[in-house]
Structure formats: C-alpha cells, structure tokens
Amino acid sequence: MSHPASLASTPGPTKQRWGALSSAGSAPGAHDARHRLQRALYFACGVGAVVFGFLMLSGDSGILATRGQVPEWFWWATVLIAAALPATYLATAFAAPMRVLHVIAIICVVGFLVVQVAWIPVMDGLTLANGGTPWLQGINALPSTLAGVVFATRVVWVMPATQLVLVPIVQLAVSDTDTIDAVLDGCGAVIFCSILTGMALAIVESGDTLDSAAATARRLASERAVAHTRERELARINAIVHDDVMSVLLAASRVGATPAVQEQAQRAQSSIAHIIEVPDATSRNYEADELVAVLRSVSATAPLSVSFTESVTASGPVPGSAVAALTEATAEAVRNCCTHAGPEASITIAVAIDAEGARVSIHDDGVGFSPKDVDPRRLGIAVSITERMHTVPRGNAQVHSRPGDGTIVELAWSRP
C-alpha cells in the first residue's frame, strides 16, 4: 500500500551524548550522521591498529622482543587488547551493529589501562632487557582515540591525562629509563593522545549537530504535513456535506416522500446544519453512526475497489478530535493504497465500534513493501497516519507490510 519512500519514522531525540549502548534502541534516523561518522572513525582505528602493530613488532621495545620476558598469558593479553581487537574494525566497522562496535571500543579502552598498569606487578621488580620499554606505551593514542569515539563527552579527556602519569611510572618501574626521559615521554604521550582524542570528539559532535538539524527539519515538516492533511480532509468533508448529502436529504424531504422519510430527512438536515455551524468540528462529540458515515465517505472517491464493513456493538459519544484523526488517517491510508498498491489491488476498510473504543483496519492486497528498506528520513505514513493518531489522547496506529503480501494499517482510539 505505501511505497517505501513514503514511510518515515517518528523524529527521535535531537542529540544523545553517551549514547553508545543505549542508542541501539532509539528511533531510526535519530543518529544517522553520528553513527556514520563513528563507523568511519572505527574503521580508521582499525587501520591504525594494523599500522601501529606492524611498527611495534621489532626492536628492543617491540612486541617480539618482550615475548619471553613477561608471562605468556600476559603477552597474549597485551597483543589482543592493544592491537588485535581494534584491528577487527577493518572487517566490522561498516557491517556490525553499532552496539557491537561500541562494546569492542569499551573493552579496548578499559583493557588497555588494565594491562598498562599490570606491567608493574607482572615484572615484579625486573626490568626489560637491552634498555627496552613496554611497547604498549607507543600505541596509547589508539585507545585514547577510541575513547573519544565511543563516549563522546568531555570525560574522555581523562584518558589522555592518564598517560601523563602512567607512562613515566610504568617506564621507571620496568625499564632502565631515567626520570627526565620518562617524564618527557609522558608529556609527549599526553600531547599526542589529546590531539587524536580531540579530533575524534569534534567529529562525533559534528554528527550530533547534523542530527539535531535533521530532527528539527523533520519535526517542522511533520507539523506542516499534519496541518495540511487536516485542512484537506475538513474541506473534502464539508464539500460532501454541502454538495451531496444536503441535496439528497433536501430532495427526500420535499419530493413526494412518505411522511416518515420526510421526518427523518428533516432531522438529518438539522443535525448536519448543526455540524456546519460549529466553527471547529473537533469541538463536539459524534455518535457511532456519524463516525461510520464519515469513514464510509472516505472510500467513495477511491479509484480502486473498496469494500467497507462495519460493526457497531455499543453507542456512546466519540470526541471530534478522535473522529478527525481517524478520518484523516484513513483517507491517507486509502490514498497510499491507490498510489502504491498496484492497479489490480483491492482495499478493505473494516470499522469496529464498541464499548472499548473505535478501530479501523485498512487492508490492501497489493505489492506491499519491506519497512526495513524505508529511508528513515523520508516523510509519509509516519506523519499523516502514525503521528496523526498519536496527537489524539489514547490514539494509536500500526503499519504492517511485507513484499508481495500487501499492507495493513490499523488505527485505534480507546475510550477513557
């Protein structure tokens, strides 16, 4: 019924700071720019892990040189956390879910600090051979960058700051480096780490800015679309009432009809005249049969075959705001059917009104679509149907579709 391009999600939060893990459940489209930039940064970190790992292989302070000078399990742990694990971003950055990428980053950041500090008790007062220093110190900019990507808050500056302290302490504890050189290495480490962390943080924040602007644009477009739909439906219903219903009832009341028909027609004219006189049709309540009549009129102008069924098991007033929302959402659903379901498709509208409320089901047997393939930035059903129903207290709407199986739109309003 609805083409994928016309379906959109409800605009989500405009900005999410520490949204690493929780953003996985947010509304689609809420963090598009942020996530695209984070994926690009993760991939760059994967490249950096491979390059740094290769450069750190040889030399007196290299990965291979330290093997045999530290316990085997510790050597493997440092290689895994500092180089191998972040290198997996080369394969996962643009394929894995964001939640997985964030978890990898957190493990790398926290794990790096743990193994960095663990050099001291692991060496147990011994020093590395040939004046070597822990090779881990030369790759600390990588986890610092990952911290800027995954946390994206000012707290990430703690990571570079730790290197100002840990680098000289670890070097003095496990190598023959003198104090001045160790302090200078710490200063160099904090500068290098701060530059990369700041760049990562700035890039992610620019994504938040873009997402915020996009969310504002979607919200404004949604408000305009809802207002346009409401005006269009009120104008159409007024035209039907003035041009069609009133003329038919007028004729029934004057042209040789039985007294009973004339009396019913006159009562109907009075009711419709009252509706017309009300400045805002949503300010009054409607009876169940009035709601059915209005919904039935929606199908009258559809170019496709429309089957209309009704089930009224309980009377009771329905607020005008709920009637307007149900009518507008039904009309939009029918328009989508006629536009996208295919020329051979048929439409079924089923209305049920009972003691619990009112429900409308619009079903077509057309081509259908896959909701996951819909661009979340596009507006359409989400604005004119889903959001329209959500503007009414206790209103709800759901859209179900699969390619080849048609589409079902379910609208509901519950009584208080």
Tell me: do 201 and 290 sit in the same domain: no
Instruction: Enter the DSSP assignment of 23.
Output: G
Using the 3D structure, point to which of 218, 244, 267 is the last residue of a domain.
Answer: 218
Whether 225 is covered by a domain: the verdict is no
Using the 3D structure, point to which of 173, 200, 218 is the last residue of a domain.
Answer: 218
- The answer to whether residue 298 scores a pLDDT higher than 50 is yes
pLDDT-derived band of residue 191, with 50, 70 and 90 as boundaries?
A: very high
Tell me: do 213 and 288 sit in the same domain: no
Judged by average pLDDT, the poorest of 134-143, 237-246, 287-296 is: 237-246
Of 153 and 230, the one with more pLDDT: 153
Domain count, the chain: 2
> In the chain, what percentage of residues exceed pLDDT 70?
74
How far apart, in whole angstroms, are the C-alpha atoms of residue 256 and residue 319? Answer: 37
Instruction: Enter the DSSP assignment of 157.
Output: G
Tell me: do 314 and 395 sit in the same domain: yes
Residue 367's pLDDT is what? 86
Of 59 and 107, the one with more pLDDT: 107
Whether 252 is covered by a domain: the verdict is no
Whether 390 is covered by a domain: the verdict is yes
- The answer to whether residue 393 scores a pLDDT higher than 80 is yes
- The answer to whether residue 91 scores a pLDDT higher than 80 is yes
Tell me: do 180 and 290 sit in the same domain: no
Tell me: do 196 and 67 sit in the same domain: yes
Residue 391's pLDDT is what? 82
How far apart, in whole angstroms, are the C-alpha atoms of residue 111 and residue 77? Answer: 9
Of 267 and 39, the one with more pLDDT: 39
Using the 3D structure, point to which of 164, 194, 218 is the last residue of a domain.
Answer: 218
pLDDT-derived band of residue 375, with 50, 70 and 90 as boundaries?
A: low
pLDDT-derived band of residue 12, with 50, 70 and 90 as boundaries?
A: very low
pLDDT-derived band of residue 58, with 50, 70 and 90 as boundaries?
A: confident
Q: What is the pLDDT of residues 327-355, one digit of tens each?
A: 888 888 888 888 887 877 888 999 999 98
Using N-to-C axis directions, what is the helix angle for 246-254 and 259-277, rounded to 10°?
150
Cβ(174)–Cβ(134) below 8 Å: yes
Return the half-sphere exposure (C-beta side, CA atoms, 13 A cut-off) of residue 365. Answer: 9
- The answer to whether residue 112 scores a pLDDT higher than 60 is yes
Helix (H, G, I), strand (E, B) or coil at 264: helix
What range defines the domain where residue 357 resides?
284-416
Q: What is the pLDDT of residues 129-147, one digit of tens each?
A: 887 889 988 899 999 999 9
Query: In this structure, what CATH number is given to the domain that contains residue 323?
Result: 3.30.565.10
Tell me: do 187 and 58 sit in the same domain: yes
Residue 333's pLDDT is what? 85
CA dihedral angle for residue 78, residue 82, residue 87, residue 88, rounded to 10 degrees: 70
Whether 172 is covered by a domain: the verdict is yes
